[in-house]
Amino acid sequence: MNHARGSVFLLGAGGFIGRHLARRLAEDGHAVIAATRAPATFEHPGIRNVVGGWDDATQFARWLPGCAAAIHAASSSTPGSSDARPQLDGNLRTTLAMIEALQDTPSCRVLFLSSAGTLYGDRATPAAETDPIRPRSYHGAGKAAAEHFFQAWATQYEGAVTVLRPSNVFGPGQSARRGFGIIPTAFDCALHGTPLSIWDGSTVRDYLYVDDLLDLCAATIAHSFEPGAHVFNAAFGEGVTLDALIDRIDAVTGRPIERRYETARRVDVHTITADTTAARSAFGWSPAIDLDEGLHRTWQWYSTQA
């Protein structure tokens, strides 16, 4: 494995963002320790898969001491799946085990992938990192709690943690699992000619292509931060209604989707976009792939997987 740029421990490497991030880090010259709950295959020789339950500090303690950075990109819930089901196992328990192990390795730089879409609540204007957080779902509450735990670790042990709050991330490789992304679900409906359930077509979200998020993650890993917690939104900067999103998906696929409207869910925020001034200023970062180009690239991948 190539250790030229330091080893990176990546929790959640088997997920959509995690797989993309593992490959990007390895291509950038990092030796990646890809932590998953089930065995996973990675093509790049710079990626080593390690498997565990990741609910005990001793599991993390085996790997973190040799790492320059640790990334927490794991989550086992979504706003919809957490409806009426607040969870400790699989989310916060894993986070707390990682933080306990980090107490012995405070020099390890930490990146935590949080969520812009579930933390701020309904917003008439783009949310800034300094705005109060008002999670509506238990999933969002879990992200908020994790942020506070990482901040407490950084304060007590003089560690440095970067918190990225991405908007709705999409791109090739995202599976069509109910509740885990409207874009792959819509593409699946277009591909198979099945109807799409929509809870409220007027809800507004910002959609960020995965490669743009990877660029920001790479920039944070390369940056030397002072001890403490450093929070940045990650979004494209365009609020789009769900109905308008499906219109644009119809245009990309050429296969109009039948829409079935259902009663809005209590866990869903209606309107949320995020201000990315801080990330642009700190890293010179700006998203390069707009929604239409991202949809085109994703459909090209998705339509060849069947």
Per-residue pLDDT band for 82 (boundaries 50, 70, 90) equals very low
Per-residue pLDDT band for 91 (boundaries 50, 70, 90) equals confident
**Whether the Cβ atoms of residue 19 and residue 77 lie closer than 8 Å to each other:** no
CA distance 108 to 157: 11
Percentage of the chain beyond pLDDT 70 is: 93
In order of 117, 229, 261, the CA distances from 248 in angstroms are 21, 38, 18
C-alpha distance across the termini of the chain, in Å: 34
Structure tokens that stand for 240 in this block: 């789009």
**Whether the Cβ atoms of residue 43 and residue 57 lie closer than 8 Å to each other:** no
pTM of the entire predicted model? 0.94
- The pLDDT, as a whole number, for residue 87 is 66
200-247 pLDDT, tens per residue?
A: 999 999 999 999 999 999 999 999 999 999 999 999 999 999 999 999
Q: Kindly give the interhelix angle for 16-27 and 210-222, rounded to the nearest 10 degrees.
A: 50
- The pLDDT, as a whole number, for residue 3 is 37
- The pLDDT, as a whole number, for residue 132 is 96
Average pLDDT, the chain: 93
Per-residue pLDDT band for 122 (boundaries 50, 70, 90) equals very high
Q: What is the CA radius of gyration of the chain?
A: 19
Q: What are phi and psi of 166, to 5 degrees?
A: -75, 150
> Which H, E and C letters describe the chain, residue by residue?
CCCCCCEEEEECCCCHHHHHHHHHHHHCCCEEEEEECCCCCCCCCCEEEEECCCCCHHHHHCCHHHCCEEEECCCCCCCCCCCCCCCCCCCHHHHHHHHHHHCCCCCCEEEEECCCCCCCCCCCCCECCCCCCCCCCHHHHHHHHHHHHHHHHHHHHCCEEEEEEECEEECCCCCCCCCCCHHHHHHHHHHHCCCEEECCCCCEEEEEEHHHHHHHHHHHHHCCCCCEEEEEEECCCCEEEHHHHHHHHHHHHCCCCCEEECCCCCCCCCECCECCHHHHHHHCCCCCCCHHHHHHHHHHHHCCCC
- The pLDDT, as a whole number, for residue 88 is 63
